Amino acid sequence: MATTNAPTHVIAHLSDTHFLQGRAKLYGTVDTDSTLARALLQLERSEIKPNALVFTGDLTDLGETDAYRRIRALVEPAAERMGAELVWVMGNHDARGRMRVELLDQAESDDPVDRVFDLDGLRLIALDTSVPGFHHGELDSAQLEWLRQELRTPTAHGTLIALHHPPIPTTLPLMPILELQEQERFADVIRGTDVRGILGGHLHYSTTSLFAGIPISVAAATCYTMDLSAGPDQLSGVGGGQSFTLVHVYRDQVVHSIVPVGDYGVINSFPTDVVRRIEALSPAEQRDAFSRHAPRAG
């Protein structure tokens, strides 16, 4: 028999696309469109039907109108084909007014872009941590009070919070001054609530941590990533390591899996008929069958 421990929800978490107008290359070298298109192709190829595609900020590099229109033209049809809710989160490189007009079909406004989504009983809250004109993150008193009121009522499957600036330390040079400020105020609001996970971006590398007892998962950028092995005092962005994250929500836990973006050669695989036969067996029979069919080294 097939396993009954199936996730209640699946979220595809992407971040930091940094589109420029006219399909200009980021820093003159990075083709932001192609990498994101590849990520979406891999996601669709998997035949996973995510409840939502969540983009945690820096959708554009300079907040340009054409850049927003182009990312929408690329992502929106893919989300529709997968039957997924599309969640855009503000980043420090984005422009609130243009994002509202071009992505959300709203009137132009400089108010924080904070929104709530009901994904079949899983609440997803998109928080705007951007500070217009600056690169660090903040949540003002009005936002924190709004969040406190929203979290007063628990939901059937709990809550995920998506924001651009993750409240975790980073050892990269300069990055600490660009973190979310006054993090303890945020912790006081979410501690003891039904928040089960925090999804972040901004750092351009994948990492995990805990905050107020809640797991945090940061998705690497789809444009370029930071080389944490570059050496002391080096802040080095590289054209590799791009990925997105699959967030599988179970009744008692949340699992975050990093998916590298790229076309890699297959080393080994199980034929579809073998996989389906094994899935139909009991757990004990599955272990025995897998041991017999699994490729062995040496």
Q: How confident is the model at residue 54 (pLDDT cuts 50, 70, 90)?
A: very high
Residue 2 is predicted with a pLDDT of: 41
Residue 119 is predicted with a pLDDT of: 98
What percent of the chain stands above pLDDT 70?
A: 93
Q: pTM for the full model?
A: 0.91
Residue 1 is predicted with a pLDDT of: 33
For residue 16, which of 30, 4, 1 has the smallest C-alpha distance? 30
Domain boundaries, the chain: 9-267
Residue 19 has pLDDT above 70, yes or no: yes
- Per CATH, the number for 9-267 is 3.60.21.10
Instruction: Tell me the pLDDT of the chain averaged across its residues.
Output: 93
Q: Which residue has the tokens 């995920």?
A: 160
Residue 114 has pLDDT above 50, yes or no: yes
pLDDT tens-digit profile of 196-244? 999 999 999 999 999 999 999 999 999 999 999 998 888 999 999 999 9
Q: Is 291 left (phi over 0), alpha (psi -120 to 50) or beta?
A: alpha
Residue 290 is predicted with a pLDDT of: 61
Residue 298 is predicted with a pLDDT of: 45
Residue 82 has pLDDT above 60, yes or no: yes
pLDDT tens-digit profile of 248-297? 999 999 999 999 999 888 888 777 666 677 777 877 777 776 666 665 54
φ, ψ of residue 101 to 5 degrees: the values are: -70, -50
Sheet-wide strand order for 214-218: 115-119, 122-126, 159-162, 195-200, 214-218, 207-211
